[in-house]
Amino acid sequence: MPLVATGSIVEPAARRRHGVGAFNVIQLEHAEAIVAGAERAGAPVILQISENAVRYHGALAPIGRATLAVARAAAVPVAVHLDHVTSAELVREGVELGFTSVMFDASALDYEANVRATAEVAARCHERGVWVEAELGEVGGKDGVHAAGARTDPGEAAAFVASTGVDALAVAVGSSHAMLTRDAVLDLELVAALERAVPVPLVLHGSSGVADDHLAAAVERGMTKVNIATHLNKAFTAAVRACLDEHRELVDTRRYLGAGRASVAAEVARLLGVLRAA
């Protein structure tokens, strides 16, 4: 199955009120695990590389090319997305490498500046056939702190989409990035109101802090793309720790990283079932 356009996964799912899993890649093992889980579930999936992950690797190209290669070899449809990018130059590089979508994050700016910057990026990306996500109503927790008080106004969201031409919108409805517990409470009525007002698919960031039943309820009310990162990192790390605790003699990194990869694959398959069953 070749690498596919992000819109070809997200837009049909939005029409059917299915959720799409978008999972963050930090190392090659993450990409392999996410695709293995998607193949097990028989579901399409989105591989995401964040600006923070690019900073960790020191450059986009090595991890980006590796992730694209994993996607191209998959047995299910896979899109590759550049996430939470604040640099227009990094957007340009991702487009040149062959990423199928970008999330340009100007949410820290005031509304008018966000509109201007996002519209410029969206216009350039659309010239190359690249799908664009943006954010309105800054989702909390980007500094690791659970600060989920922000809420996106439906009317403002509709105006933002009309003014920028973006293909999907990340909205603030009660989730928070980098949560280690799954007890965030989503404003489900706001999700429904946003779905009625906004003509493009909605995106939930900070989904690691949301329990399965709340994820399913959000999808039922109109959320489509569901971003998950920290929850998979927890699964990966727990499996590595358990493997090293049991086999203290291990020095071959393939043994314990393989355990982490297997754990993430299983959790991805399970989560995709939750999102599609909604």
- What tokens were used for 22? 């978008």
Contact 74/39 with Cβ under 8 angstroms?
A: yes
N-terminal to C-terminal alpha carbon distance within the chain = 26
Count of helices and strands (H, E) across the chain: 11, 8
- 83, 105, 167, 187: the active-site residue: 83
Alpha helices in 169-252 (DSSP H): 188-197, 212-220, 230-246
At a CB cut-off of 8 Å and minimum separation 6, what does 2 contact? Answer: 72
SS3 132: strand
* 83 in active site: yes
Give Dmax (Cα) for the chain. Answer: 59
* Active-site residue list: 83
